[in-house]
Structure 1
């Protein structure tokens, strides 16, 4: 029970803060007409978190910390993707508009991959926090800890999508969805600025 409670509280504390991944999942659920159409982004984000957490617990992801060049590359690529995402969300219109084309599954997955696998802050949190805390457990306790942290991610992403869909369903005119898109874009832009600051400090 200790490892399960520990994993639950730790992963919940890491995933609750407003980040690019959470913003994007919520945004897509609010913009699409059905929850089913947001499954690509939910599944992609869940698989990415599962992948990162598994690597962190196995210790494989420590390679990233030991290679400054690799860190810089992740920061640069992640920054470019987040800037593009901020621009896309700023110009995105809600599904209540006749001229709106829902973001394709392929684009949802590519954006989800970028905010999950190319987000330096998320990677460092996973490696530095979850990976480190997992080292205090062995055997079944470590397995329970791992499964709990992974489960929290999946449940949280589904919860975000449900809440986003409810808001999108209430907003018949689409004006609030436009506001959500603008706010999402600004939040991701701020995250991009913070990543640029971290990149600058890493290089200089």
Structure 2
């Protein structure tokens, strides 16, 4: 059991550490929301989405996405368009901490965007299926669930840490200038992923 848990922890960290769209968005909201509690909807939504993807991958259900080419194509197209839009929203946002709070994403927007960058990200889906799903085949029974829970806990802990880091940055950067730069970089990363997805569609 211990081996399965350690395997899940190391594997999950390896997958979640790279600076992807989901990580950028969670960090960005931690930095832009007026309090950490206001960023919790993003953390919780991203964690739940990862829980769903990891569980489906381990159960083998999500392999359907790989089986039907048309379904994979639809996910890529929707993901491409959404990332272009998401990049534009983040690019336009300012880092000025004194601005009206109406400029911050609402609860509904946070949940919708967090779910979208998690579930409409084809690379995240394929990584989950291809890596976590495949590695889970080495285990059965309690060991498999130990492996699964370890992956999920790493994901939840990571998203919480990202939001807290963003919040700390907000406190240090009282002028908002650095946050504005972070927003621009975040938007460029998101557009880069969108372009790569568009290239794959062609």
TM-score for the superposition, normalised by structure 2: 0.97
1:111 aligns with 2:119: no
Q: Which residue of 1 aligns with 2:51?
A: 50
Shift of 1:106: 0.8
Alpha-carbon separation, structure 2, partners of 1:97 and 1:106: 23
Give the C-alpha shift of residue 199 in structure 1.
1.9
Q: Does 1:40 align with 2:41?
A: yes
The runs of 5 or more residues in structure 2 that have no matched partner are none
- Quick one: distance in 1 between partners of 2:114 and 2:188? 17
CA contact (8 A) 2:96 2:177 kept: no
Alpha-carbon RMSD across the aligned residues, in angstroms, is 0.9
Q: Distance in 1 between matches of 2:96 and 2:173?
A: 10
Alpha-carbon distance in structure 2 between the residues aligned to 1:95 and 1:156: 26
Q: Alpha-carbon deviation of 1:97?
A: 3.3
How far has the Cα of 1:166 moved from its partner?
0.3
Aligned-pair distance for 1:105?
A: 1.2
Matched, 1:31 2:32: yes
The number of residue pairs the alignment matches comes to 200
| 8 Å Cα contact 2:4/2:143 also seen in 1 | yes
Once residues 170 and 100 of structure 2 are traced to their aligned partners in structure 1, the CA distance between those partners, rounded to angstroms, is 17
**Does the Cα contact within 8 Å between 2:90 and 2:183 map onto a contact in 1?**
yes
- Residue 174 of structure 2: aligned partner: 172
Task: Check the 8 A contact 1:33/1:95 in 2, yes or no.
Answer: no
| Secondary structure at the counterpart of residue 61 of structure 2 | coil
Task: Structure 1: state its 5+ residue gaps.
Answer: none
Indicate if the aligned counterparts of 1:65 and 1:71 stay in contact, CA closer than 8 A.
Answer: yes
Residues of 1 paired with 2:19 and 2:72: CA distance? 23
Shift of 1:98: 2.6
Matches within 5 A, 1:1-204: 1-94=2-95, 96-99=97-100, 101-200=103-202
Task: String of CA shifts for 1:58-78, please: whole Å, max 9, x gaps.
Answer: 000011100000000000001
CA distance in 1, matches of 2:197, 2:107: 27
Equivalent position SS for 2:139: coil
How far apart are the structure 2 equivalents of 1:179 and 1:47? 29
> Displacement of 1:95 after TM fit?
5.0
Partner-residue secondary structure (3-state), 1:61:
helix
